[in-house]
Amino acid sequence: MKRLKAESAETSQDESRSFEFERLFMEHWSSVYRVLHRLVGDPAEAEDLALETFLRLYRETEKQKTDGMNAGGWLYRVATRLGLHSIRSWKRREHYELTAGRYALEESEQASPAEILARQEERGQVRLVLSWMNERQSHLLVLRHSGLSYKEIAEALNLEPGSIGPLLVRAEREFEKQYRALAQEE
Amino acid sequence: MQKHLNDGELRAALDGELDARSLQHLETCTSCQMRQQQLQEKQREAGRLLAFFNPAEQTAPSAQRAWSRLSQKIMLQKEISMTKKWFSFPLVRFGFAALALLTLFLAFPGTRVWAGEFLNLFRVQQVQVVSVDFTGLEQLTGDGTLGNRFTEMIGDSVDMQQEPSEPVSVASAEEASELAGFEVRIPEGMTPSQINVTSGAAFTFTVDRAKSQALLDEAGRGDLVLPESVDGAEILVNIPSAVSIGFGTCPIPGSEVSGNTEQSTIENRYPDCVIFAQIPSPNVNAPADLDIEALAQIGLEFTGMSTEEAQAFTSTVDWTSTLIVPIPQNASVNEQVAVDGVTGTLIQRPSGEGPQFALFWAKDGIIYAISGLGSNAEQAMNIANSLP
């Protein structure tokens, strides 16, 4: 009888965990996807990476309860890491540059093809620089320019909110330095 | 009077993130205002370049559709976890990993074509080892993107007809024989510490050439080209029930200890554990026109063999009757030994790299494997030579 009760309690816990996970998914899916889409430039790859991010969250919820966990911050951190890791692969980067260019042409109705091409080249270089930079600095730049508040960034990266401003200044200086160096090379 | 603001605070002010007290200072301090203006100028270019990250106008794919895809992935992960658990018993994992790889290494002569389009191609009569570089395989089985894609492809391509059960503990060889459906052998004069029976599995694997080739390309092996003819081929695999017999202090199958503990801890905890596994030969059926020899060649080259080495190996193996056991390159020694009236293979590995020894042989349609975590490979020979 005791065993039956224990099993029933376990089933109820599983259901509650599933429900909570679905709620988190519905709440964060769009924003996680958008960050990844801008980061990798390819909608299909962004969707795959976003699903992988949530799959990792699911595994995490199997290990610990999500009650005290900042799921949003966790998702942004993991998604950005997956995106940066993905664009580091030169084979994929080549693929992204092609597909991102194609999607940019479809999206932009007013700009001329030459303008779109120039913009895509520029974005490709920005992605490249982000993938080269120190991981924390890349995370800061991606999350801040994706619209997250200092508080949200601090939670995602386990930092003090007061440290975000100075870290952003340094990250942007480093980004600009590396971007200029890359532009001079090409 | 409050001191002047630093660059970080000035940056926070630009983002509307500065606290009220500091903001009040900024509104009245000309020096800070000038420095903020300079900072804004410097930041302008980085801001412009990174502006495309602003997702204001971008739409995302349907959350419902994405949820449905994710649910499928989670189900697949659960199925794989179950399979992993099945393989968690050390010897079962080590010995049966060979069977899983088997489907990649099969070939057959045309003379065995059955009536109809299928061919019963495989019955184990001997065991042969092949040294492979596991780096390529680890890429496919790890947690990286490639590993995940491989897992997804397997999930999409495999249709399980029969799931393996959790291991069932039994008290005697007779009980094990009855449950497993073949005559289980126990060495004379030795008392097992545990006997476990795992029911068999059956599945159909349908080859998706495009996905498989994409994986090879992504693994940096675009030089290996799968034949067009493999696309859509159905390979039917039927793995019978298996019995594992433990001697000494061994981990309980399916327990956290056997499944999730570091290998070094397992070795320290179970130094005298020896496991004797027995399983009837699996049945593998594939379309008669499937060029499995070409697949075997690609599989071998993927694991680090040169084209010439792979050709030499494939030409010497009787693929219809040989169980191929992959062992890590440079990390194992293996020798042919006389065992149970046939020729077997004894593999010994350096400390800290999994089971220290394993002895494989096949007789009368049954595959036998003895492996241990200790350093005395003689134990395996003693067990094999004590069989009735």
B31-50 confidence digits (pLDDT tens)? 999 999 999 988 888 989 99
**A60 touches A74 (CB < 8 A):** yes
Domain total of chain A:
1
pLDDT band, very low/low/confident/very high, at B333 (cuts 50, 70, 90): low
> Residue B302: what pLDDT?
77
A45, A84 contact by CB (below 8 A): no
Average pLDDT, chain A: 80
pLDDT given for residue A33 in this prediction: 92
Q: Is the pLDDT of residue B105 over 60?
A: no
- The 3-state secondary structure of chain A reads CHHHHHHHHHHHHHHHHHHHHHHHHHHHHHHHHHHHHHHHCCHHHHHHHHHHHHHHHHHHHHHCCCCCCCHHHHHHHHHHHHHHHHHHCHHHHHHHHHHHHHHHHHHCCCCCHHHHHHHHHHHHHHHHHHHHCCHHHHHHHHHHHCCCCHHHHHHHHCCCHHHHHHHHHHHHHHHHHHHHHHHHHC
Counting Cα atoms < 13 Å in the Cβ hemisphere of B81 gives 10
Report pLDDT digits (tens) over B245-284.
Answer: 888 877 666 544 444 444 444 455 666 778 888 888 777 7
Q: What is the pLDDT of residue B126?
A: 57
Complex ipTM more than 0.85, yes or no: no
| A96 near B CB under 8 A | no
The answer to whether the CB atoms of B55 and A38 lie below 8 A apart is yes
* pLDDT top residue among B293 and A75: A75
Which residue from A156, A9, A175 is spatially nearest to A80, judged by alpha carbons?
A156
Structural domain range at position A172: 2-185
pTM to 2 decimal places: 0.47
Cα A43 from chain centre:
13
8 A C-beta contact, residue B287 and residue B119:
yes
Tell me, what's the pLDDT at A150? 92
**pLDDT classification of A80: cutoffs 50, 70, 90:** very high
B222 vs A44: CA distance, rounded Å: 22
**Residue B133's pLDDT band (cuts 50, 70, 90):** low
The distance in angstroms from the start CA to the end CA of chain B is 96
Note the pLDDT of residue B257: 40
Q: What is the pLDDT of residue A51?
A: 92
Model confidence at B342, pLDDT cuts 50, 70, 90, reads: confident
Of B7, B67, B145, the CB nearest to A25: B67
pLDDT > 70: percent of chain B: 63
Q: Tokens in use for A112?
A: 């001329």
Residues 6+ apart with CB under 8 A from B69: A51
pLDDT at A54: 92
Given this model, what pLDDT does residue A166 score?
A: 92
Locate B198 and state its tokens.
């795992």
**Does the beta carbon of B218 lie under 8 angstroms from any beta carbon of chain A?**
yes
Q: What is the CA radius of gyration of chain A?
A: 20
Choose from A128-132, B209-213, B247-251, B346-350 the range with maximum mean pLDDT.
Answer: A128-132
Residue B263 vs residue B1, higher pLDDT: B1
B210 touching A (Cβ < 8 Å): no
Exposure string of A108-122, with b = 16+ CB inside 10 Å and e = fewer, is: eeeeeeeebeeebee
Q: Which of the residues B39, B65, B70, B152 would you substitute to probe the A interface, choosing the one with the greatest number of A C-beta atoms within 10 Å?
A: B70
B46 to A176: CB separation less than 8 angstroms, yes or no: yes
- Residue range B16-28, pLDDT digits in tens: 998 888 889 999 9
Contact between B357 and B378 (Cβ < 8 Å)? no
Per-residue pLDDT at B177: 92
B109, pLDDT greater than 50: no
| Residues linked to residue B218 through DSSP beta bridges, in sequence order | none
Residue A136 has phi, psi (to 5 degrees) of -65, -40
Residues in A 149-168 with any Cβ partner in B closer than 8 A: 149-150, 163-168
pLDDT value of residue B119 = 31
Does the beta-carbon distance from A166 to B8 stay under 8 Å? yes
Distance CA B58, CA B325 (A): 52
Q: How far apart are CA B247 and CA B91, in angstroms?
A: 12
Report the distance separating Cα A158 and Cα A71, nearest Å: 12
Cα A26 to its chain centre, rounded Å, is 16
| Average pLDDT of the segment spanning A41-54 | 89
Model confidence at A79: pLDDT above 90: yes
The answer, yes or no, to whether residue B326 has pLDDT greater than 70, is: no
pLDDT at B93: 42
Q: What is the pLDDT of residue A98?
A: 55
Out of A117-126, B105-114, B148-157, B321-330, the most confident range is A117-126
Distance of alpha carbon B117 from alpha carbon A127, whole angstroms: 52
Task: Select from B236, B333, B340 the least CA-distant residue to B278.
Answer: B340
| Greatest mean pLDDT range, B157-161, B204-208, B321-325 | B204-208
Instruction: Kindly tell me if the per-residue pLDDT of B78 is higher than 50.
Output: yes
Beta carbons within 8 Å of B303's beta carbon, 6+ residues apart: B132, B133, B134, B136, B137, B326
Of A76 and B313, the one with more pLDDT:
A76
Which residues in B lie closer than 8 A to residue A50 (C-beta atoms)?
66
- CB-nearest partner of A145 from B6, B50, B148: B50
Six-digit token string for B195: 């006997």
